[in-house]
A and B are shown apart, each in its own frame.
Chain A
């Protein structure tokens, strides 16, 4: 089963508006990461938030993490047409020995369309 599930599946907004995407996960995590994928390209790491952090900022990005609800949100402020992409949350999965070896489990992503 998927560890991360994004909501909404698709989001369409006008340039200048804010975009909020949510992610829910099932098991305990030590961090949660957000990635962006432009059409036909590979994923690009945006931001990482650790389990002991509640909020993190990077430029126009703001990520929150609520470990009690097992959820995270990504807010893009003052969106631009260039922000049009799919956005994925991902978290490292621990193996039986308790280490993750970098295994990330991704959700299906939110497709964001920003209209100029």
Chain B
């Protein structure tokens, strides 16, 4: 019954590796997002997709590449991981309308060593 799910919940990896985080929502929403939350709890949007189309692409290193195979899935692939990529990554979804509330996944805690 989980609305927005992410896998894995924890990810520990070494610098230079490539990793992916998966996100799925079963709410029938047409818009999905990736956020990064740093150690100070500051939450910043990275990407947004609407109906599989990229609509928000913040200033994020191009080592980060989102992929949306369908409306219910939005994956995040990260190449050549760096120490500064350590953070909690949240997926979210909403309907595409002004100010719609967003539903968040449980987060993926990424630790790069």
Contact = CB atoms under 8 A, between A and B. Distances in A.
A44 B105 CA distance: 9
Given A88-B43, A101-B31, A106-B43, A42 B90 contact: yes
A105 B45 contact: yes
Nearest to A86: B41
B90 A43 contact: yes
A102 B105 contact: no
Interface residues of B, number: 28
- A-side interface mostly: strand
B31 to A, nearest CB: 6
A86 B41 CA distance: 9
Contact of B40 (A31, A41, A45, A108): A108
B17 to A, nearest CB: 24
Interface in A9-35: 30-31, 33, 35
Given A101-B48, A103-B48, A42 B104 contact: yes
Interface of B: 4, 31, 33, 40-45, 48, 50, 55-56, 90, 92, 94, 96-107
Interface of A: 2, 30-31, 33, 35, 37, 40-45, 48, 50, 86, 88, 92, 99-106, 108-109, 111
Please give me the 10 A-B residue pairs with the lowest Cβ-Cβ distance, nearest first. A42-B104, A45-B101, A31-B99, A106-B43, A43-B104, A92-B99, A101-B55, A42-B106, A108-B42, A42-B105
